[in-house]
């Protein structure tokens, strides 16, 4: 691999004071080992980096993304890649994370293992499912998005519920009267869906989790769907809804508009350096006792 193609994308959390320190250490190590660090303008500015501006070509050919911050920064890193399967190393600067698992004092060691180690022995890849989200109005496609955690179709006005007609694999299921509806990946089952009383799924699964938010109806259960099942949500009634992917508002839809959600062909690929059992992370996160 030539030096010009050995691009590593740096993504950082602008509000973490440790992030610039870790980023500068990583940039120095990368350059000393023949890699070319690049970053988007927002990260160059917030982290104070002296690196080249990341281009679409760099994203397409990158060999690694170094995500410095926490799980939210990991989500942003996945969105930067926009479906391209580039390995991500997540550096955790916040509380115990589900996605970012390398601590700030382990970054150089992790980079060294990734650079010199053997996949399957010193490190391995943890592959995570994504959702493909399509929105339609008057039969015309509005936009497409990928989601790592979830897509949320939720009321845009406080104090009101919305009506959402749900089809599963082209068969009418039901109409939800609720504050909203969450379609989550197994990775996202520990995010908003869990707050709405949804189940926790192992991230090794491929499934679509559908959880209503504060439903005003007798049926208030979450459903775990096969990843091959297409979920179609039509906005009913007379109120608009907001659609957000991984916490970012992407569209406001009107009655008659449609959201389609399915398992994406694209995946996210995380670099792991030691055996990390999801249920042990969960145990630590919630302070569960052994007995």
Active site residues: 71
Work out the end-to-end distance of the chain between its first and last CA atoms, rounded to an integer number of angstroms.
52
3-state secondary structure 136-161: EECCEEEEEEEECCEEEEEECCCCCC
- Bridge pairing between strands 162-168 and 87-92: unpaired
Of 103, 89, 111, nearest to 31 (Cα)? 111
Q: Own/partner pairs for 15-18, CB < 8 Å, 24+ apart?
A: 16/68, 16/69, 16/70, 16/93, 16/94, 18/93, 18/104
Cα separation of 196 and 211, whole Å?
7
What whole-number distance in Å separates Cα of residue 56 and Cα of residue 240? 34
Cα 255 from Cα 14, distance rounded (Å): 38
Residue from 139, 137, 219, 135 nearest 174 by CA: 219
Q: Are 230 and 260 in contact (CB under 8 A)?
A: yes
Cα(94)–Cα(108) distance, rounded to whole angstroms? 18
């Amino acid at each position: 691999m030539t030096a010009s193609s050995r691009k590593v994308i740096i993504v950082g959390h602008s509000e973490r004071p440790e992030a610039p320190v870790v980023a500068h250490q990583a940039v120095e190590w990368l350059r000393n080992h023949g890699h070319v660090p690049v970053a988007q303008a927002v990260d160059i500015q917030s982290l104070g980096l002296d690196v080249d501006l990341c281009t679409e070509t760099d994203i397409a050919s990158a060999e690694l993304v170094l995500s410095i911050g926490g799980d939210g920064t990991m989500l942003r890193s996945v969105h930067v890649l926009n479906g391209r399967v580039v390995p991500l190393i997540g550096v955790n600067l916040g509380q115990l994370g589900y996605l970012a698992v390398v601590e700030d004092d382990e970054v150089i060691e992790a980079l060294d293992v990734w650079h010199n180690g053997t996949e399957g022995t010193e490190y391995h890849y943890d592959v995570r499912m994504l959702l493909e989200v399509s929105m339609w109005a008057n039969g015309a496609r509005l936009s497409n998005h990928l989601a790592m955690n979830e897509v949320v179709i939720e009321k845009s006005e406080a104090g009101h519920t919305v009506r959402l007609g749900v089809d599963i694999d082209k068969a009418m299921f039901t109409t939800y009267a609720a504050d909203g509806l969450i379609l989550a990946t197994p990775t996202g089952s520990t995010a908003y869906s869990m707050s709405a009383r949804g189940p926790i799924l192992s991230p090794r699964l491929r499934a679509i989790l559908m959880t209503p938010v504060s439903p005003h109806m007798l049926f208030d259960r979450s459903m775990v769907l096969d990843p091959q099942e297409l979920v179609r949500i039509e906005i009913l009634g007379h109120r608009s809804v907001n659609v957000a992917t991984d916490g970012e508002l992407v569209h406001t839809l009107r009655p008659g508009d449609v959201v389609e959600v399915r398992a994406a062909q694209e995946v996210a690929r995380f670099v792991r350096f030691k055996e990390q059992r999801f249920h042990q992370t969960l145990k630590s996160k919630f302070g569960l006792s052994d007995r």
